[in-house]
Amino acid sequence: MNDLKNKNLNTKNNKQKQEESINWSEIHAKLPLDESTQDKERRKALFRQFDPNGNGYLSLAEIEKGIRDVLAIDALFDAKPAIIRAFNSAKNATHGHSKVGAD
């Protein structure tokens, strides 16, 4: 029972360290989040960089590669469990009607 308790404590400590090491200001600066026409165009350009095969869909591998190579934020790239959960949640929530999407 103590092994499980120690494992849970170590997992919690690792998550806290990871959250502390993520520079959210850096992430915010690299992501075009506004509703402006300029940011919409920047989002489309960012999507194209993440989608090297140009099929209009992002695989988990393409997202991970984009985070690592395009955004170049190592701390975010290292948050793989959160990335996987977000990917699966988004994949299950959409129906893929539009190649470009609703933005």
> Which whole number is the average pLDDT over 87-94?
86
Per-residue pLDDT, 71: 92
Per-residue pLDDT, 103: 46
What is the C-alpha to C-alpha distance for residues 75 and 79, in angstroms, rounded to an integer?
A: 7
Say yes or no to pLDDT of 43 above 70: yes
Which ranges in 1-79 belong to alpha helices (H)? 2-21, 24-30, 37-50, 60-65, 74-77
Q: Which two tokens stand for residue 78?
A: 């290292």
Say yes or no to pLDDT of 26 above 60: yes
Domain boundaries, the chain: 24-93
This prediction's pTM = 0.67
pLDDT band at 73 (very low <50, low <70, confident <90, very high): confident
What is the C-alpha to C-alpha distance for residues 101 and 26, in angstroms, rounded to an integer?
A: 26
